[in-house]
A and B are shown apart, each in its own frame.
Chain A
C-alpha cells in the first residue's frame, strides 16, 4: 500500500500525487472471497438466532403438551445424516485438492459428483425423518417447540439444497469450459459454504439430537 509514499521523497509530495497508473491490482477473486466471508458471518448470525430461539423453546410451556425431544428424536437416523454430510465435506476437500494440483477436469467432476450424491443422500434422509415426525403428529403447528425445530433444521436443509444447486451449476460450468480462473474462484467460495453448512450441522446434531436425548 505505502510503496508510493516511500518511492518518492516525502517532503516533495505534500498530500497528493498523481502517478501514472501502474498495474493497479484488480484482485477480483480476493474481493469476492472477502465478500463471501462477510455474507457467511451474517448467515451464521441467522443460524445462531434460530439456535437461541430453539434453546428457549425447550421448556414445558413450549412443548404445550405435545411431543418432547426425548419422545421424538432417534440417534440412528441423525447419525446417518451426519455421516453423509461429513463425508461430503471430505470429498469436496478432494475436489479442491484436485483443482489445486491441476488434475484433469474429469477427476474434479468426479469428486464433485460424489459430493453432490452425498448431499442428496443427506437431504433424502432428512426428508424421510421429517415425514416420520409428521406421521407421528409432530408437525410445526403442534407447539412452539416444534415450530422452532422446524425453523432451525429445515433452514439448514434449505441451505444444503441451495448449495447443491450451486454445485450442479459449477459442474455444468466445468464440463463446458474446464477449470478457468472464474471456476477456481467460485469453487473456493462454494467449498467455504459447504464446509460451513457442515459445521452448522454439527451444531444441530449436538444441540438438537444429542442434547435432546441427553
Chain B
C-alpha cells in the first residue's frame, strides 16, 4: 500500500458519508428518498430485531450447533430455503413498489428513474439468484439423498461451502440497500452501460461480486449432486427406478456444472474492464459487447431450465401422491427432462434476435426454441394422465399444480409467439416480454417451490402446515399473478417498453391500475405465507406427523420418521421397484423390522461454511469499495482455510452405535403402531398422524 496516501481512504476505499443510504432521508425528504432510506432502515432494523430475538430466546447456541456448522443435508436445505424466503419477501416488495409506481406513473409517479432502475435490477437479480436458486437448491438438498436412500451427499463439507458462498452473495445485495447503490443495468447487466464510463459507482460491482460468489457456490452444488446421484444410491435403486424429482435434480445439476461457467466468465471479464481498464466489452479500443450478450445468455437460457426442471420434478411427485396413482409415463418424463436439458443449450440467441445477426441464424434459433415446446407438452399430458381417474385430493400443492398446468401453458404459448423472430422484433423490450417470463417463473418455478415446501414440510419438521392459510395464500398468488401480469401482455402489445419508470400515453393507465390492484393480492399472498408458518407452529401439536407418511406418498423419503434422524435411514433400504414405498405399502409391508443393524458413520461439523459466508462477504465488500486490504486478507483466509481443512481432513466424524440406532428405530416403529391410520378422506384433519390406511382398490385404481 502506498504510504503517501491519506490513511482513511486507504482503509475505507471509496466508502464515505454520502454512501450511507439511511441518512439520505434527512438531507432530501422526498418520497423517493424516504423509500430509499426506508429500505435501508428496514434492513438495519430487521437485522437488529433478528439479533434481539435470537438473544432473547437464547437461540445463538442452538443455531450455531444445529445449523451453521452442520453438514447434515437436511439442515443445509432448511437454511437455503430460509434464505430463499427472506429474499422472496424483499423481491416481492420491490415488485409491488414498482407496480405501484407504474399505477401512478402517467407522466411521473413518485420514484426517480434511477431508483426505479435499481429496483428492477435488484428485483431481477434477487429473484433469480437469491430466491429461485436457493429455494430449489434447498429442496434438492433435503429430498434427493432421501429419495435415493442415502445418508448424506457425497461431499458434505463442500455442501456447507456452497451454502456459505450463496449466503455471501445474498448478504452483499442486502448491504447494497444500506451502503451505496445497486446497478441500474438490469439483472443481465449489459455493457457498455455497466462499464466505468457510464456507471463509475459501486452499483455494477455489487452485481459482479455477488454473482461470482453465488455462482461458484452453485457450480459446486452441481458437482456435489451429480456425484451423489451417481454414487450414493441404495442397492437396487437403478437409474430408471429413481423418483422423478431426483431425475430433474440430476439434470439441473448437470446444467449447473455446464451453464454457470459462462456467467462467471462474463462477470470476470466485466470486472477486468471495470477494475483494470481492459477492453472486453467497452465501446472504445476494440471491445465487443456482443461477446457479453452471448456469454450471459449462454448461461441465461440453461438457467431458466435449471429453475424450471426441479419444479417439474416437484409437480411429478405431488401429482402421483395426491392422485393416489402411479406416475403416468415415467419413461417419457425421463426422456423429456433429458431432452429439455440438452435443447436448453441450443437456443440462447433468442434473447437477442434484434442484435444484428442475419435472418437465417435467427430462424434456426427460432425453430430450436419452438422445439422445446414438445418435451414440455409431453410432460403436461403425463401429469394430466396421472390425475385421470385417480383419487385426486385438491390439497394446497394440487391447487398450485392445477393452476400451473393452465397458466404455464398460456405462458408457453406466449413464448412460442416470441420465438418467431419477426414477431419478436415488434415486442422485444416491451412489457409483453416481462409478462411472458413472469408467466413462466411464477406459475412454474415459484408455485412449484411453494408446492414442494408444503409437501415436504412435515417430513422435515414433523408437523403439517396449516392448510387454511395455505389455500388463502395459493389463491391470492393465482389471482394476484393474473391481475398483475395479464395486463402487461396488453400494454406490451401496445408498445409500452419495459424498464421504464413512467409513461405519457394515457391508454396504458387503466391496465397499469389493474396491475396495481393485482399487486395488492400478491402482497396478501406473501403475508398469508407468513401467517401460515406462524399458525402452523402454534398448532403443531395437532398436526404431528408421527408415522412420517401424511400424504400416503410413494417414494423412499416417506418410509422414514418425521422429523428425520441425522442418519436418515436406520438401515439402508434395498429397493425392488419404482415407487418402492407405495409398492411395499400395497403389499402390507410398509413398516418392516430390519433384519439387523450396524454402526453408522456420519461426517462431522465444519466451520468452512461460516468461514465462506463471512469472509466471502468481506472479500466482495472489499472489492466493491476498493478496500484492497480487506479483499486480500479475506481471500487469504478462505484459501488457507481450504488448505488446512484439506490437510487435516474431517476430524470430527461421528459414529452412531448399532444399539442406539436399533433402540431409536424400534421406538419409532412401536409408536407408529399406536397411531390410527387415516384414509385420504381425513387427510387434512387433526386425526392424520402420518400413517395411511390402505385405500379400497376401486377408489385407488
Of the listed stretches A45-53, A73-81, A116-124, A191-199, chain B binds: A45-53
> Interface size on A (CB < 8 Å)?
53
> Is A35's CB within 8 Å of the partner chain B?
yes
How far is A118 from B169 in the complex, measured between Cα atoms in Å?
Answer: 38
Give the residue of A13, A26, A34, A62 whose beta carbon is less than 8 angstroms from that of B230: A34
How far is A42 from B576 in the complex, measured between Cα atoms in Å?
Answer: 35
Interface size class of B (residues with CB under 8 A): 35 or more
> Is B246's CB within 8 Å of the partner chain A?
no
How far is A43 from B220 in the complex, measured between Cα atoms in Å?
Answer: 12
Of the listed stretches A85-93, A135-143, A201-209, chain B binds: A135-143
What residues of chain A lie closer than 8 Å to B581, measured between beta carbons? 15-16
By CB atoms of chain A within 10 A, which of B155, B227, B579 has the most?
B227
* Shortest CB distance B223–A (Å): 5
B223 touching A18 by the CB < 8 A rule?
Answer: no
> Is B53's CB within 8 Å of the partner chain A?
no
> Is A134's CB within 8 Å of the partner chain B?
no
A144 touching B580 by the CB < 8 A rule?
Answer: no
What residues of chain A lie closer than 8 Å to B279, measured between beta carbons? 64, 140-141, 143-144, 146-147
Query: Per-residue CB proximity of B61-72 to A under 8 Å, as 1/0?
Result: 000000000000
* Shortest CB distance B555–A (Å): 11
Of the listed stretches A2-10, A101-109, A125-133, chain B binds: A2-10
B261 touching A46 by the CB < 8 A rule?
Answer: yes
How far is A34 from B580 in the complex, measured between Cα atoms in Å?
Answer: 28
By CB atoms of chain B within 10 A, which of A21, A26, A148 has the most?
A21
B580 touching A53 by the CB < 8 A rule?
Answer: no
A14 touching B587 by the CB < 8 A rule?
Answer: yes
What residues of chain B lie closer than 8 Å to A34, measured between beta carbons? 226-227, 230-231
Give the residue of B223, B238, B273 whose beta carbon is less than 8 angstroms from that of A42: B223
> Is B540's CB within 8 Å of the partner chain A?
no
> Is A63's CB within 8 Å of the partner chain B?
yes
Q: Mark out the residues of chain B between 135 and 193 whose CB falls within 8 Å of any chain A CB in the assembled complex.
A: 154-155
> Is A151's CB within 8 Å of the partner chain B?
yes
* Shortest CB distance B552–A (Å): 14
B571 touching A1 by the CB < 8 A rule?
Answer: no
B264 touching A46 by the CB < 8 A rule?
Answer: yes
A5 touching B223 by the CB < 8 A rule?
Answer: no
What residues of chain A lie closer than 8 Å to B154, measured between beta carbons? 31, 35
A141 touching B276 by the CB < 8 A rule?
Answer: yes
What residues of chain A lie closer than 8 Å to B231, measured between beta carbons? 27, 30-31, 34
State the A residues within 8 Å of B (CB).
1-5, 10, 13-21, 24, 26-27, 30-31, 34-35, 38-39, 41-43, 45-46, 49-50, 53, 56-57, 61-64, 66, 140-148, 150-151, 169, 173, 182
Additional pairs, 13, CB under 8 Å, beyond known A13-B574, A49-B262, A66-B285: A16-B580, A16-B583, A18-B593, A19-B596, A26-B601, A34-B227, A41-B257, A63-B286, A140-B277, A144-B288, A147-B280, A150-B278, A169-B643
